[in-house]
Amino acid sequence: MRTIDFLPKPRAKKSPSPKRTSQPSFAQDRRQETGRTVGRQYQSILMMLLISLVLLGGVGARLFYLQLSQGEVYREKAENNRIRIVPKQPVRGNLFDRKGRVLATTRLTHAAYLWPMAQKRENWPENRRRIAELLGVSEKSIEEKVQQAGFNSPTLIRIARSLTPAQITALEEYRSQISGIEVDIETVRDYPHKKIASHVLGYTGELDAEELKQRRSEGYRMGDVVGKMGVEAAYEQQLRGEWGGLQLEVDGAGKVMRVLGQKAAKPGKDVTLTLDLNVQKAAEAALGNRKGAVVALDPRTGAVLAMVSYPRFDPNVFSSQITPAIWKELQETKPFVNRAMRGFPPASTFKVVTQTAGMESGKYPPNTILGTFAYLNVGGTAFGEWNRAGFGPLGYVRALAMSSNTFHGQIGRGVGGPTLIKYAHIYGFGSKTGIEIPGEVPGLIADDAWKRKMLNWGWTDGDSVNMSIGQGFTQATPLQIAVMFAVPANGGYRVRPHLLADSTKKADQWRTNLHFKPTTIKTLREGLRAVVTSGTGKGLNVPYLPPVAGKSGTAEAPPGKSHTWFGGFAPFDNPEIVAVAFVEHSGGGGGSVAGPIVRQVMEAYFNKKPPNPNSK
């Protein structure tokens, strides 16, 4: 039998393994090479996935930014590329005189408009040069308007007004070469009487960049034409109206495809003034080419019937491009100063205030008689009588008729500076009258404080005498002098001059009762009437006019010739008009130089003419 041996057999002893060397075997080298290749393949795939994710994420983020965050902006730009806004300026309200005659209106003309968005930046310098050459405007002005509107503006901007037929033809010829420029009809301000009443009416002009910045909060926009002087500025809100416009869809060539929307422009309101065109023309003709001013008003209400200042200007020049020649003329003549509202020494017209101070103070009642002399010696200074002899004893009426300096000098010295100054202020001197148009100055009524501040010297009796005859530091405007003459004319009321014809206001709303004594008003009126009947204003004592009262004045104005004044009212019993004429450095006397101007104004108002000397 065979015996099964369950005992383990002893293992054979292994031979020692060969010693490892620095050189791997082929199998080992193959395994190592295979492992590195597989790792690199995975690394490349991961890198490609990572780059793809980054790129896709970037594109997605950009799409998110464009579609969601900036989508509205780009949609608006796309819309602007096909939508053009054509603004329609409102028609400005008309200006009429008191009888419904046109003083300012509008007329149709052509203007050049530019669409900034249609301009390619690389072509813009050459287009701008060519446009400026065709329109006769500066490249700078065009560039400023485009910069102000912005190159992405869908709105047409006006770059030139009142185009000539030649300019319109030239633009049409170059239409294919200059993109985004159009010619359209617009209304511009028209003054049919040219220079007549230019200082009252003023003129209009387009807002510049600085003015637009200041007035944008009032609803103004680029291209707005506004009143820049006179009534045009004073009643801008009534006259301006509201803008309208068209929203058009255009194709790539700028051709209009359809109207998307429109808003009608709202015209401005008409304004009726107190001016009387016939009286205004007569006043301008009477003053002629002499520097000075004329004012006529209704003494009952202060309604201004005429206001003239020379040199004048034609406001129509501002409705188109101002040529270098016109600009040079404006610079040389300086016509924008309204002398009717500038201060000058009032001379003997101020004696109305002096007499009022004497009577109202009680120191020199209406029955006062004073001697007059060749001169009045005050503090070592001789204040001479204009006739160098004196007139003997005079009362108020005759003293005013003869315009005695020594009589009124005694009144002024007697009542003193403070009293004279008080009644000057009561008449409105030293303050603006309140007329609507801008540019008025208050004049000057000096006092002790003013003199000490300006000259470091107190008030003297000599200052009171000088003031009593309308000389020295005293400055008054022709408008203020007209207000002064209205007081004795209407029985003691100081009126507020105005230009708006407002039928809703009664006379008392335009005037203030000064509460002078009836005897004061009566004495003043008699003296002013005597000036015309037997004094320095006899040139107005003509039979074809209603009875006139008034006062002349001749002001020393070194180093030039004297200024001359005359102011008066008529009819004497029931005055309807006050007229004041002032001629700067004219020489001569007020009655002989300024008096005839007032007479011609009266002739126009009462529609009276002097008799023809050749008629039988």
Q: Are residues 371 and 418 in the same domain?
A: yes
In a domain, 455, yes or no: yes
Strand spans (E) along 115-162: 157-160
CATH number at 399 reads: 3.40.710.10
Which range of residues forms the domain containing residue 181?
82-195+241-272
Q: Are residues 387 and 345 in the same domain?
A: yes
In a domain, 25, yes or no: no
Q: Are residues 412 and 554 in the same domain?
A: yes
Q: Are residues 340 and 253 in the same domain?
A: no
Provide CB contacts within 8 A for 484, sequence distance 6+: 349, 352, 353, 427, 428, 429, 476, 567
Check residue 24 and give its pLDDT. Answer: 47
**Both tokens assigned to 448:** 């002790």
| Number of domains composing the chain | 2
Q: Are residues 362 and 418 in the same domain?
A: yes
CATH number at 93 reads: 3.90.1310.10
The string of DSSP letters for 419-452 reads: HHHHHHHHTTTTS----SSS-----B---HHHHH
Check residue 253 and give its pLDDT. Answer: 56
**Both tokens assigned to 352:** 């109305």
In a domain, 389, yes or no: yes
Q: Are residues 286 and 145 in the same domain?
A: no
Using the 3D structure, point to which of 224, 251, 272 is the last residue of a domain: 272
What amino acid occupies position 305? L
Which portions of the chain are predicted below pLDDT 70?
A: 1-44, 52, 54-86, 248, 250-256, 259, 614-616
Burial category of 543 from C-beta neighbours within 10 Å (exposed 0-12, middle 13-18, buried 19 and up): exposed
Q: Are residues 291 and 261 in the same domain?
A: no
Check residue 452 and give its pLDDT. Answer: 97
Q: Are residues 256 and 345 in the same domain?
A: no
Q: How many CB atoms lie within 10 A of CB 324?
A: 7
Check residue 18 and give its pLDDT. Answer: 46
Check residue 504 and give its pLDDT. Answer: 74
In sequence order, the β-bridge partners of residue 466 are: none
Instruction: Count Cα neighbours of 212 within 13 Å in the Cβ-side half-sphere.
Output: 13
Using the 3D structure, point to which of 226, 253, 272 is the last residue of a domain: 272
Provide CB contacts within 8 A for 483, sequence distance 6+: 297, 302, 427, 428, 433, 494, 495, 497
Contact between residue 236 and residue 258 where contact means Cβ atoms under 8 Å apart: no
Check residue 5 and give its pLDDT. Answer: 40
Q: Which helix (H) or strand (E) holds 78?
A: helix 71-82
Check residue 14 and give its pLDDT. Answer: 47
Check residue 2 and give its pLDDT. Answer: 40
